[in-house]
């Protein structure tokens, strides 16, 4: 690694190589990532720059990386591309408000510098004119930075509906590739949904696979960028506490839950085509399940980790209809972009069973819903009752280990203790690790920030491999086809409720025992 390109103001523990800081820690060594010196300039191209995701997530994530010194002005340029006719300043004005959110006034100067890095190119997604113009602009930028031909890096972020991925990828392949023989690269980031079922996903994978190899494709699932999801591997495999307990002998059931307290606002048209299983469960919750249930990987190399995720997905048994409850919130169909006869679930509880030595008989309950009573995502691991319980604890509740992904990241263990005082009474209490309290000086990065950084570093661990995607669709496709054919219908539920009561009944049938009279309240700073 050359010291010439090491910048002194790089964040602690990081080394800047060619405008992007590479991690200088033991993880990188373990992952066996090649810290190749990258001297070419970096062009980040956001396709679909006029859209919702680009303004709410992609540009803010790039801005945060810039603010923290991970993207260097001397090397980086950002291009927005879409059909809408906009000037550079129009695009900057559109996204400015989203970048200012939560930023202090002292960031105004940094924001102005960041916005100056952004250029906009207008063009269609299926004709070469726009892409040739884009290529010309990227090349001009590369020449202006004295980048050696072939050493430049081009990251294309497809913030677009998946229907246009094949044509956009073809256009990039034919018109905008960097020459890779001199250490430069071209990488493509694609957003979910990757298909609607097994066949469409495989078709899409084949189409993209003809244009780019697996090392160039980054299928993003932003749940894999969340702090506590990234912690799962460390938590499970670096702690002696958990190793002997994490199995069917001790664990009764596991819930992975996503709740939102708002409906499909503004995205009804998209959502109605997909529904909650395709939008949340088949991807985000299933990815979390993989990390909770997989065996220890041989090493931290991305391929070893993804190999284990595929194995656990392939061990999931076919879903039975009696293990599913669907719901649709009242008022969902008032959205003019949603069909009056829509059968699309906005809520689902699905119980999965993993047929292997560790998990046989342990239900994995995946639950997701929109327009519910609160916004929360968590993993709830419920342990079996204590055998020969002399304290009659069963009446109070079981041990639970809860990993709160959001909001207020935390881990807590619900356990039974002696109630403080003269009497010998038991109560439910908790061992609590609340991140807000424990890590007061740390700003937890946004998932997109972390994942975009990974794409630039070439780290595919937190991205979905093609065979993983296939295995995930194999689990859900039969159920989804049956729902699409009207064989299962959603039960109406009131917005702001817990969802259909039938879902709680399914939970109880699966073995979950609710603790009554006790809730954990996230501690706050005094
Ligand atoms: N928005 C979100 O919160 C999330 C989105 N995603 C995924 O990210 C991707 C982008 O999402 P989002 O930004 O919401 O999408 P948008 O509907 O906002 O579309 C993005 C841009 O794509 C162009 N576009 C829209 N519809 C079409 C079409 N039918 N054919 C060609 N171009 C079209 C438009 O640009 P123009 O007309 O200017 O060319 C639009 O500005 C999708 O795959 C989505 O599923 C994933 C997670 C969350
Ligand atoms: O992918 C999606 O995720 C969001 C929820 O993301 P979160 O990080 O805020 O939990 C969801 O609202 C959206 O429907 C879905 O497409």
- Average pLDDT value for residue range 272-287: 97
Q: Flag whether pLDDT at 132 surpasses 70.
A: yes
* Edge-to-edge order in the sheet of strand 217-219: 118-122, 76-82, 42-47, 153-158, 185-190, 217-219
pLDDT above 90 covers a percentage of the chain that reads 78
d(CA 242, CA 227): 19
pLDDT for the residue numbered 180: 65
- Average pLDDT value for residue range 120-142: 95
ipTM of the complex: 0.97
pLDDT for the residue numbered 30: 54
Q: Find the range with the poorest average confidence among 32-36, 263-267, 278-282, 356-360.
A: 32-36
Q: Flag whether pLDDT at 356 surpasses 60.
A: yes
Task: Kindly give the distance from the C-alpha atom of residue 225 to the centroid of ligand 2, in angstroms, as a whole number.
Answer: 13
Atom of ligand 2 nearest to the CA of 267: 14
Task: Kindly give the distance from the C-alpha atom of residue 284 to the centroid of ligand 2, in angstroms, as a whole number.
Answer: 9
Atom of ligand 1 nearest to the CA of 48: 21
Picking from 351, 281, 348, 378, the residue whose alpha carbon sits closest to that of residue 499 is 348
Q: Where are the beta strands (DSSP E) in 269-389?
A: 324-329, 347-353, 363-369, 376-383
The CA–CA distances, whole Å, from 115 to 80, 81, 294 equal: 11, 15, 42
Picking from 365, 363, 410, 395, the residue whose alpha carbon sits closest to that of residue 520 is 410
pLDDT for the residue numbered 18: 39
d(CA 90, CA 55): 12
- Average pLDDT value for residue range 143-166: 88
Catalytic, 355? Answer no
pLDDT for the residue numbered 12: 31
Prediction pTM value: 0.92
Nearest residue (CA) to ligand 2, atom 16: 279
Q: What letter would DSSP give residue 329? A: E
pLDDT for the residue numbered 395: 73
Catalytic one of 64, 77, 222, 284:
284
Whether 191 lines ligand 1, by a CB cut-off of 6 Å, is yes
pLDDT for the residue numbered 21: 41
Atom of ligand 2 nearest to the CA of 270: 16
Q: Write out pLDDT tens, residues 212-258.
A: 999 999 999 999 999 999 999 999 999 999 999 999 999 999 999 99
3-state secondary structure 80-149: EEECCCCCHHHHHHHHHHHHHCCCCHHHHHHHHHHHHCEEEEECCCCCHHHHHHHHHHHHHHHHHCCCCC
Name the average pLDDT for the chain: 90
């Amino acid at each position: 690694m050359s010291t010439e390109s090491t910048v002194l103001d790089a964040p602690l523990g990081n080394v800047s190589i060619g405008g992007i800081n590479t991690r200088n820690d033991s993880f990188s060594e373990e992952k066996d990532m090649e810290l190749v010196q990258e001297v070419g300039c970096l062009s980040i191209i956001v396709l679909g720059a006029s859209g919702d995701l680009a303004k709410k997530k992609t540009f803010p994530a790039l801005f945060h990386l810039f603010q923290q010194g991970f993207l260097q002005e001397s090397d980086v340029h950002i291009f927005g591309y879409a059909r809408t006719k906009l000037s550079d300043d129009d695009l900057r004005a559109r996204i400015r408000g989203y970048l200012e959110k939560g930023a202090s006034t002292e960031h105004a100067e940094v924001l102005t510098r960041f916005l100056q890095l952004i250029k906009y190119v207008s063009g269609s997604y299926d004709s070469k004119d726009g892409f040739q113009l884009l290529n010309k602009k990227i090349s001009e930028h590369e020449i202006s930075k004295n980048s050696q031909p072939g050493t430049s890096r081009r990251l294309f972020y497809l913030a677009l509906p998946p229907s246009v991925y094949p044509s956009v990828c073809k256009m990039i392949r034919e018109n905008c590739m960097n020459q890779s023989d001199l250490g430069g690269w071209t990488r493509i980031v694609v957003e979910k949904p990757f298909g609607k079922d097994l066949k469409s996903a495989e078709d899409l994978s084949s189409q993209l696979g003809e244009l780019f190899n697996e090392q160039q494709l980054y299928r993003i699932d932003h749940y894999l960028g969340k702090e506590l999801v990234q912690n799962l591997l460390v938590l499970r495999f670096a702690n002696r506490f958990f190793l002997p307990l994490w199995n069917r002998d001790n664990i009764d059931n596991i819930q992975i839950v996503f709740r939102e307290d708002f409906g499909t606002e503004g995205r009804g048209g998209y959502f109605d085509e997909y529904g909650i299983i395709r939008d949340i469960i088949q991807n985000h919750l299933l990815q979390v399940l993989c990390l909770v249930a997989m065996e220890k990987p041989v090493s931290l190399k991305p391929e070893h980790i993804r190999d284990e995720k595929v194995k656990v997905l392939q061990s999931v048994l076919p879903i039975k209809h009696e293990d599913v409850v669907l719901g649709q919130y009242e008022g969902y169909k008032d959205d003019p972009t949603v069909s009056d006869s829509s059968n699309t679930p906005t809520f689902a509880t699905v119980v999965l069973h993993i047929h292997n030595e560790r998990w046989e008989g342990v239900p994995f309950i995946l639950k997701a819903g929109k327009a519910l009573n609160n916004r929360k995502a968590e993993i709830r691991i419920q342990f079996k009752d204590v055998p020969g319980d002399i304290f009659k604890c069963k009446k109070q509740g079981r041990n639970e280990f809860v990993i709160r992904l959001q909001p207020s990241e935390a881990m807590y263990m619900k356990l039974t203790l002696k109630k403080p005082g003269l009497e010998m009474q038991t109560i439910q209490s908790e061992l609590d690790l609340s991140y807000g309290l424990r890590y007061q000086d740390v700003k937890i990065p946004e998932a997109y920030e972390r994942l975009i950084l990974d794409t630039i570093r070439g780290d595919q661990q937190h991205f979905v491999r093609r065979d993983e995607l296939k295995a995930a669709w194999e689990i859900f496709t039969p159920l989804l086809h049956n729902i699409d054919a009207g064989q299962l219908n959603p039960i109406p539920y009131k917005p702001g409720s817990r969802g259909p009561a039938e879902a709680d009944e399914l939970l109880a049938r699966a073995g979950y025992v609710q603790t009554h009279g006790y809730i954990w309240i996230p501690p706050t700073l005094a």
